[in-house]
């Protein structure tokens, strides 16, 4: 495995390069001088349209993005339109690019979308699990020590009463005997379960063939800017509807549109949140500092823990100071989840790599999001109907 020193460049293939995280990571790595290629089947664009919504800020198509990167950053990625569940197509891209690392974002990433009905659940299961298995085989067969950087989720753990370790294995006593087992997981949607299954498959591939992997357990991400997104032509997608938007992004859109912020249930649900900029910085650090060859490295990726009620208060406070009349409502929770619970998470890997500088206060980030969204108020307003959650966990 190539060990990078500052200034070294490496070849990175991003699967899911057209998405919320995939595109800004492309920009971040290009700006760092890395050679970047991307593959995407553009599923998210179609699936968001399927639920009657669109990106809250306009985004270019994949070819336009390549041109904009070339013009504005001086370098651009190679883009392949393709589907990771098509093994031959994936293998072809990997054998052509010969990447040092493959970042895998090419999964259906919405919990509500996976809960719509049996068709959406089955799509999520097959797309996510088959894509990861294909990647494992393509990397194994390439015979090269390519780091697999896999986007998992903090939601794999659920909300247990124990402190969540940053580890794959844990010692425990069962029926009076000690053994080492994988850390217990209890996911809260079909989508989140696919990530648990992926983790098991990655661990097994690591044991079998020594596939080097970083398995990222990331919390919900918010924001629409990074330091590389300096021009609207470089915008990444920004989802806000009931199926595709994450909580803080949704609150910001609701505040801009004068709708009450939709806290699900009591609002005591705590998660590990991070901004888009933090997510990019964490991914860059993990790519530039790979694990030992043959290593499996689980990473808990978040910045700070907040409850969803606290986040609503922050948006109300910041929005109020910007002259917005922000109201909060506790709506009936469409999900089956604990609304008051213990939540403590271990995080050692990212701090050990230098991820400890709090770049911005969360309220400053909220202000930036509200400012960035203001010019798109009428565009957002056209999709107002898609904002309230429509997908219920209990049918």
Is the Cβ–Cβ distance between 306 and 269 less than 8 Å?
no
Catalytic site includes residue 195: yes
Partnered with residue 296 across adjacent β-strands are: 213
- Contact map string, positions 106 to 145, toward ligand USQ, x by CB under 6 A: ---xxx----------------------------------
**Smaller CB separation from ligand USQ, 99 or 334:** 334
β-pairing verdict for 78-81 and 35-40: parallel
Q: Determine, following the binding rule CB under 6 A, whether residue 271 of this chain makes contact with ligand USQ.
A: yes
Least distance to ligand USQ, CB of residue 83, Å: 19
Q: Are 219 and 302 in contact (CB under 8 A)?
A: yes
Q: Is 226 a catalytic residue?
A: no
Q: Which ranges constitute the DSSP H helices of 99-220?
A: 111-114, 118-142, 190-209
Tokens standing for residue 112: 């509500």
Starting at the edge strand found earlier in the chain, the sheet holding 221-222 runs: 221-222, 270-275, 304-307
Yes or no: say if 334 and 389 are a contact pair by the CB < 8 Å rule.
yes
CA distances from 222 to 350, 359, 363 (A): 19, 14, 12
Give the 3-state secondary structure of residue 250: helix
Q: How many angstroms separate the CA atoms of 128 and 122, rounded?
A: 10
- Minimum separation from the CB atom of position 194 to ligand USQ (A): 10
Catalytic residue among 26, 54, 124, 153: 153
Among 269, 275, 279, 301, binds ligand USQ (CB under 6 A): 269
Is 54 an annotated catalytic residue? no
**Residue 288-317 contact track with ligand USQ, rule CB under 6 A, x = bound:** --------------------x---------
Distance between CA atoms of 114 and 109, rounded to whole angstroms?
Answer: 8
Q: Which stretch binds ligand USQ (CB under 6 A): 29-37, 85-93, 152-160, 367-375?
A: 152-160
Residue 262 in the binding site for ligand USQ (CB under 6 A): yes
**Positions in 188-247 near ligand USQ (CB under 6 A):** 192, 218-220, 246-247
Among 27, 29, 129, 154, binds ligand USQ (CB under 6 A): 154
- What residues act catalytically? 153, 191, 195
- Residue numbers of the site for ligand USQ (CB under 6 A)? 109-111, 153-155, 192, 218-220, 246-247, 250, 262-264, 269, 271, 308, 335, 337
């Amino acid at each position: 495995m190539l060990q990078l020193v500052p200034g070294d460049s490496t070849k990175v293939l991003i699967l899911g390069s057209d998405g919320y995280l995939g595109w800004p990571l492309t920009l971040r790595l290009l700006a760092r001088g890395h050679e970047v290629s991307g593959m995407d089947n553009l599923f998210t664009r179609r699936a968001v349209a399927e639920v009657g919504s669109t990106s809250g800020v306009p985004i270019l198509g994949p070819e336009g993005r390549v041109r904009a990167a070339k013009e504005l950053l001086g370098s651009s990625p190679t883009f392949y339109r393709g589907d990771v569940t098509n093994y031959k197509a994936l293998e072809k891209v990997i054998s052509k690019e010969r990447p040092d690392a493959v970042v895998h974002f090419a999964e259906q990433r919405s919990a509500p979308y996976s809960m719509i009905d049996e068709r959406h659940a089955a799509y999520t299961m097959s797309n996510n699990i088959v894509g990861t298995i294909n990647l494992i085989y393509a990397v194994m067969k390439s015979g090269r020590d390519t780091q697999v950087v896999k986007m998992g989720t903090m939601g794999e753990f659920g909300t247990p009463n124990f402190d969540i370790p940053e580890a794959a294995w844990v010692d425990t006593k069962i029926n009076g005997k000690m053994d080492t087992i994988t850390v217990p997981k209890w996911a809260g949607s079909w989508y989140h379960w696919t990530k648990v299954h992926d983790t098991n498959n990655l661990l097994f591939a690591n044991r079998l063939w020594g596939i080097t992997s970083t398995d990222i357990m990331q919390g919900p991400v918010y924001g629409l800017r990074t330091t590389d997104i300096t021009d609207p032509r470089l915008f990444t997608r920004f989802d806000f509807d009931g199926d595709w938007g994450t909580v803080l992004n949704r609150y910001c859109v609701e505040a801009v549109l004068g709708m009450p912020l939709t806290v699900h249930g009591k609002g005591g649900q705590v998660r590990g949140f991070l901004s888009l900029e933090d997510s990019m910085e964490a991914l860059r650090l993990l790519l530039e500092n790979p694990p030992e060859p043959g290593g499996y490295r689980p990473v808990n990726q978040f910045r700070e823990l907040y409850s969803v009620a606290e986040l609503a208060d922050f948006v109300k406070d910041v929005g109020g100071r910007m002259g917005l009349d922000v109201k909060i409502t506790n709506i009936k929770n469409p999900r089956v989840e604990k609304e008051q619970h213990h939540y403590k998470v271990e995080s050692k890997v990212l701090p050990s790599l230098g991820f400890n500088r709090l770049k911005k206060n969360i309220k400053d980030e909220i202000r930036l999001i509200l400012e960035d969204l203001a010019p798109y108020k009428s565009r957002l307003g056209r999709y107002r109907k898609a904002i309230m959650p429509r997908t219920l966990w209990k049918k």
